Amino acid sequence: MNRRKFAGTIATAGILPQVAAAADPAPRDVTRILARYVVNAKYEDLPAPVRKEATRTLLNWAGCAIGGSRHETLDIAIAALTPFAGPGQATVLGRKEKLNVMHAALMNGISSHIFDYDDTHLRTIIHPGGPVASAILAYAEYKPVSGRDFLNALVLGTEVECRIGNAVYPTHYDIGWHITGTTGVFGAAAAVGKLLGLNEQQMVWAIGLAATQPVGLKEMFGTMTKSFHPGRAAQNGLTSAFLAARNFTSSNQAIEAKEGWANAVSTARNYAEITDNLSKTYEISINTYKPFACGIVIHPTLDACIQLRNENKLTANQIDRVELRVNRLVEILTGKKTPQTGLEGKFSVYHAAAAAIVKGAAGEKQFSDALVRDPEIIALRDRITTIVDPAISAEKVRVTITLKDGRKLEKSIENAIGSTKNPMTDKMLEAKFSDLADGVMPAAQARKVMDLCWGVEKLTGAAEIAKASAA
Amino acid sequence: MNRRKFAGTIATAGILPQVAAAADPAPRDVTRILARYVVNAKYEDLPAPVRKEATRTLLNWAGCAIGGSRHETLDIAIAALTPFAGPGQATVLGRKEKLNVMHAALMNGISSHIFDYDDTHLRTIIHPGGPVASAILAYAEYKPVSGRDFLNALVLGTEVECRIGNAVYPTHYDIGWHITGTTGVFGAAAAVGKLLGLNEQQMVWAIGLAATQPVGLKEMFGTMTKSFHPGRAAQNGLTSAFLAARNFTSSNQAIEAKEGWANAVSTARNYAEITDNLSKTYEISINTYKPFACGIVIHPTLDACIQLRNENKLTANQIDRVELRVNRLVEILTGKKTPQTGLEGKFSVYHAAAAAIVKGAAGEKQFSDALVRDPEIIALRDRITTIVDPAISAEKVRVTITLKDGRKLEKSIENAIGSTKNPMTDKMLEAKFSDLADGVMPAAQARKVMDLCWGVEKLTGAAEIAKASAA
């Protein structure tokens, strides 16, 4: 008998498809080149600005995960899966529960995406932090990981998922895949694989195992399952890396093979995006963070309104009317005139602009049910009009506020705050974090978590960040 | 603040793709019709032959899982994931380990597919038993499930996966997806959802959660990851059903939506295959079981050789030469003249036919390294020739054995044993089971497991089958 030798066979599954598969015109080394890079990349090789951006990604991710931690989406997921989530090895950020590494990663990935307020690699619309950071922070509570190794893994995981995303975007996304989940599995697998010290062949297999379990369809947008995607990507990535570490074999060319990932999930692909300029460019360098808890299409408007408010110390009762010259997408996507709930408020440029002027912010709090029904906000909202202007591209806006005393205040935005060309400052990221953590943990605890994120490179154990984030 | 209300938004992820998604020409009820069927289907509605075929599917699955249980693929998977697989709730068949429900299902799904010897829904090449039975048997050890409910769930899970497979085969398979994994998630989710007593809306969500986490690329064939697919499908289906049972929301039209599953994973689809004739036809009725532990392309040859041997009480030393008139695929896929290992033996019609004539069988034991190197087998193997005959279709063969005394023995096969038109008998299924269980458990224990499978409808708790299968 031959029980202990691998006996899976190609010919046993069917007949004709295997004949077709005999031809293989695909490039042969894409997966291996990527794996080799990850295996060999050192923390010391990372340019200082890359390390810095990684700390910003980490801090923004932690804030989002803490902020989402009390949402019913997470309550349900924890209640449903806790019977299968022992032993308690890792922290669910912002909560008291500890779950096993796999499920802690799942939950943190879910909560980090609940408000759709997480980081964005604008070129691909990937939210890179969720899958990678959720996986490696849970891992760091299971096996010791220095802050430097942690940051290196975060950079490399982001590199892997965004490069694979670059190779298939936009057709992959257009077909219906939620790219954060589908590429996130690779990012998490590579990052955890790096921490596990996989050799090149094992890293190739980890990527293969990731390829065979993509997560996420866009059809799930608007439901709890959207947030499930980065969480499950983290979990699948962990599973892939742990299996590969024991020499669970997989394809040697999972990404590029004729019947591999890129051909299955996309109608077009550019492998050079994966293999060119490795160690020379870093995708995490162009990561961005949302300053406002709503669709980016209205971010220019909110940026302009908050600037005008602050520069002029405006109050609602000074204002006669507000005119927004906007791109057509603003009306199409956020044209709701009389929203009734916080969620509807996210689809109303009128509510969002009114809230931004009155409160000076457009965070998660400004999209509460209560604020959407606030008489002062409603009164201002009804004095706001939009004019669609073909000359205004999606990243721009021109806002004119006419005061009751007859003065006109104007502001044009070319690149909204939070865009690649106009990034959020560290101070803004901290304000966003504090706002998200408010109601989940005391301000002093939030301050401690932020300090640990900024100083991650100095930590003996990155797990400190998780432990400090528990409720 | 609005922390406890769902706040995922469409517009927050990007800009243009959402505009494109506003149009939705898809049929609206496919997922719901399927969900409603599963929720309402009763054991009492099942025709007797359907119940019978379900017991055969169960027995064959259990035999394969037990047979694969000592393979290094499973050793590795258990070693890698045990730290995250507590508490011990369910049995890994053929072994002493107990893992949590999710991981027991994963392991049993893996082992059931290791030898590629499991059941086959020939129309789609789906191996339906693995994902569904692995999920519901592990579940049955966690919550009590009567034998009747168990069998009903097995039938319904098979129905769901095979119908969805029918809707997208063959293009889905041709693109590169391993259809057993991708549709198996649905089957497992529906079957577990049925046992959990999901209502219609929850079943719709369970299907949605299954849709968003497909498993399996064909590129993994020939590696351990191929067996991972049905296991992970079982695990993902369990996760989907448990989340849906707590009202974790998902799409209402996950299968058919413009950005849903069928559009993402296939270039063609026929939704009528999912929605027509529900409760009138049963896909499990056309399930088949492999009599030989190798690719189906050489099954007609093996059937003919074993019949000629048995009818004529042949021994190798009586035989001068063997001539096989075969379809061209036999040479293309299994033309290896001098195999060196058991695995290579599976790709050698010469070895397989020689072993079948000498041993009267072509089970896993006949593809051992030792038998491939056995002088008697080699001597006979070298006297076997193939002739490709355009008149011979893939399911046929004509075997001529010329004896040393000059006699010619001939046998033509139109439909090989194990095909839909010539199914394995219960006795053959038992012999296959016993052969697989040999070396894993005592014959008396194997007998007991078989009896439990045949009598599953009478069991108060289906978990008995799992408990009886432990090492």
User: 3-class secondary structure for chain A?
Assistant: CCCCCCCCCCCCCCCHHHHHHCCCCCCCCHHHHHHHHHHHCCHHHCCHHHHHHHHHHHHHHHHHHHHHCCCHHHHHHHHHHHHHCECCCEECCCCCCEECHHHHHHHHHHHHHCCCCCEEECCCCECCHHHHHHHHHHHHCCCCCCHHHHHHHHHHHHHHHHHHHHHHCCHHHHHCECHHHHHHHHHHHHHHHHHHCCCHHHHHHHHHHHHCCCCCEHHHCCCHHHHHHHHHHHHHHHHHHHHHHCCCCCCCCCCCCCCCHHHHHCCCCCCHHHHCCCCCCCHHHHEEECCCCCCHHHHHHHHHHHHHHHHHCCCHHHEEEEEEEECHHHHHHHECCCCCCHHHHCCEHHHHHHHHHHHCCCCHHHHCHHHHCCHHHHHHHCCEEEEECCCCCCCCEEEEEEECCCCEEEEEECCCCCECCECCCHHHHHHHHHHHHCCCCCHHHHHHHHHHHHCHHHCCCCHHHHHHCCC
Q: What pLDDT score does B343 carry?
A: 85
Query: How many Å apart are CA B349 and CA B326, to the nearest integer?
Result: 10
- Option in A4, A77, A264 nearest B217 (CB): A264
Contact between residue A190 and residue A94 where contact means Cβ atoms under 8 Å apart: no
- At B449, the amino acid letter reads V
Chain B residue numbers touching A260 (CB-CB < 8 A): 176, 217, 219
- Option in A1, A86, A260 nearest B365 (CB): A1
- Option in B100, B225, B342 nearest A7 (CB): B342
Query: How many Å apart are CA B236 and CA B215, to the nearest integer?
Result: 9
- Option in B174, B211, B224 nearest A217 (CB): B211
Chain B residue numbers touching A471 (CB-CB < 8 A): none
Q: What pLDDT score does A26 carry?
A: 52
Q: What pLDDT score does B182 carry?
A: 98
Question: To the nearest whole angstrom, how far is the Cα of B32 from the nearest Cα of chain A?
Answer: 15
Query: How many Å apart are CA B434 and CA B123, to the nearest integer?
Result: 28
Chain B residue numbers touching A213 (CB-CB < 8 A): 213-216, 232
At residue A86, φ and ψ (nearest 5 deg) are: -90, 165
Residue contact B223–A208, C-beta within 8 A: yes
Nearest to residue B151, comparing CAs of B437, B464, B462?
B462
Residue contact B17–A246, C-beta within 8 A: no
Contact residues, A window 101-120, toward B, CB-based 8 Å cutoff: 101-102, 113-117
Question: To the nearest whole angstrom, how far is the Cα of B407 from the nearest Cα of chain A?
Answer: 34
State how far the alpha carbon of A99 is from the alpha carbons of A72, A85, A107, B102, B458, in Å. 18, 5, 9, 15, 38
Name the one residue in this structure whose structure tokens are 């295997």.
Answer: A18
Chain B residue numbers touching A98 (CB-CB < 8 A): none
Q: What pLDDT score does A222 carry?
A: 86
Superfamily of domain A23-289 in CATH is 2-methylcitrate dehydratase PrpD (1.10.4100.10)
Chain A residue numbers touching B297 (CB-CB < 8 A): 11, 15
Residue contact B176–A260, C-beta within 8 A: yes
Residues ≥6 apart with Cβ < 8 Å to A442: none
Residue of B nearest to A343 (CA): B7
| C-beta neighbour count of B152 within 10 angstroms | 27
Chain A residue numbers touching B218 (CB-CB < 8 A): 13, 17, 21, 259
Query: How many Å apart are CA A174 and CA B392, to the nearest integer?
Result: 45
Task: Decide if A23-289 and A296-413 have a common fold.
Answer: no
Architecture of the domain spanning B24-290+458-468:
Orthogonal Bundle (1.10)
A276 touches chain B (CB under 8 A): no
- Option in B18, B223, B224 nearest A333 (CB): B18
- A13 pLDDT band, cuts 50/70/90, is very low
Q: What pLDDT score does B402 carry?
A: 98
Contact between residue A105 and residue A234 where contact means Cβ atoms under 8 Å apart: yes
Query: How many Å apart are CA A61 and CA A69, to the nearest integer?
Result: 12
Chain B residue numbers touching A393 (CB-CB < 8 A): none
Chain A residue numbers touching B227 (CB-CB < 8 A): 8
Reply yes or no: is the peptide bond before residue A128 cis, omega within 30 of 0.
no
Q: What pLDDT score does B15 carry?
A: 34
Q: What is the mean pLDDT of residues A217-228?
A: 94
Contact between residue A316 and residue A360 where contact means Cβ atoms under 8 Å apart: no
B143 touches chain A (CB under 8 A): no
Cross-strand partners of B410: B400
Q: What is the mean pLDDT of residues A232-240?
A: 98
Chain B residue numbers touching A264 (CB-CB < 8 A): 175-177, 217, 265
Chain A residue numbers touching B333 (CB-CB < 8 A): 10-11, 15, 18-19
Alpha helix positions (H), B68-146? 72-81, 101-113, 129-140
Q: Which residues of B363-376 are buried (b: 16+ CB within 10 A; e: fewer)?
A: bbbbbbbebbebee
Q: Where are the domains of chain A?
A: 23-289, 296-413
Q: What pLDDT score does A16 carry?
A: 34
Question: To the nearest whole angstrom, how far is the Cα of B465 from the nearest Cα of chain A?
Answer: 21
Look at strands B397-403 and A408-413 and give their pairing. Answer: unpaired
Chain B residue numbers touching A2 (CB-CB < 8 A): 342-343, 364-365, 367-369
Q: What pLDDT score does B129 carry?
A: 98
Question: To the nearest whole angstrom, how far is the Cα of A31 from the nearest Cα of chain B?
Answer: 13
- Option in B181, B248, B294 nearest A80 (CB): B248
Walking along chain B (471 residues) 10 residues at a time, the average pLDDT comes out as: 37 36 58 98 98 98 98 97 95 98 98 95 95 98 98 98 97 95 98 98 98 96 95 98 98 95 96 96 97 92 97 97 96 92 92 97 94 97 97 95 97 95 96 97 98 98 98 96
Alpha helix positions (H), B169-260? 171-175, 179-196, 200-211, 224-245
Chain A residue numbers touching B347 (CB-CB < 8 A): 9, 11
Residue contact B259–A219, C-beta within 8 A: yes
Q: What is the mean pLDDT of residues A258-286?
A: 96
Question: To the nearest whole angstrom, how far is the Cα of A424 from the nearest Cα of chain B?
Answer: 17
- At B108, the amino acid letter reads N
Residue contact B1–A232, C-beta within 8 A: no
Chain A residue numbers touching B79 (CB-CB < 8 A): 246
Give the predicted TM-score (pTM) of the model: 0.92
- At A348, the amino acid letter reads S
> What does the pLDDT look like over A395-437, one tens digit per residue?
899 999 999 999 999 999 999 999 999 999 999 999 999 999 9
Q: Any idea how long chain A is?
A: 471
Question: To the nearest whole angstrom, how far is the Cα of B429 from the nearest Cα of chain A?
Answer: 18
Nearest to residue B233, comparing CAs of B357, B419, B109, B54?
B109
State how far the alpha carbon of A70 is from the alpha carbons of A88, A119, B240, B382, in Å. 19, 20, 21, 71
**Which of A19, A219, A240 best tests the B interface by mutation, with the highest count of B CBs <10 A?**
A219
Q: What pLDDT score does A295 carry?
A: 85
Chain B residue numbers touching A14 (CB-CB < 8 A): 125, 173, 296
Contact residues, A window 32-51, toward B, CB-based 8 Å cutoff: none
Residue contact B212–A215, C-beta within 8 A: yes
**Which of A4, A124, A204, A213 best tests the B interface by mutation, with the highest count of B CBs <10 A?**
A213
Q: What pLDDT score does A267 carry?
A: 93
Name the one residue in this structure whose structure tokens are 């517009």.
Answer: B11
At residue A375, φ and ψ (nearest 5 deg) are: -60, -40
Residues ≥6 apart with Cβ < 8 Å to B225: A205, A208, A209, A212, A248, A249, A250, A251
Q: What pLDDT score does A370 carry?
A: 96
Q: What is the CATH number of domain A296-413?
A: 3.30.1330.120
B173 touches chain A (CB under 8 A): yes
Residue of A nearest to B169 (CA): A17
Nearest to residue A293, comparing CAs of A343, A327, A336, A330?
A343
B331 touches chain A (CB under 8 A): no
Q: What pLDDT score does A333 carry?
A: 87
- Option in A7, A242, A367 nearest B114 (CB): A7
Q: What pLDDT score does B295 carry?
A: 86
Residue of A nearest to B110 (CA): A8
B63 touches chain A (CB under 8 A): no
- At A145, the amino acid letter reads V
Contact residues, A window 404-463, toward B, CB-based 8 Å cutoff: 438-439
B23 touches chain A (CB under 8 A): no
Contact residues, B window 200-259, toward A, CB-based 8 Å cutoff: 205, 208-209, 211-229, 232, 239, 242-243, 245-251, 253-254, 257-259
Question: To the nearest whole angstrom, how far is the Cα of B84 from the nearest Cα of chain A?
Answer: 6
B351 touches chain A (CB under 8 A): no
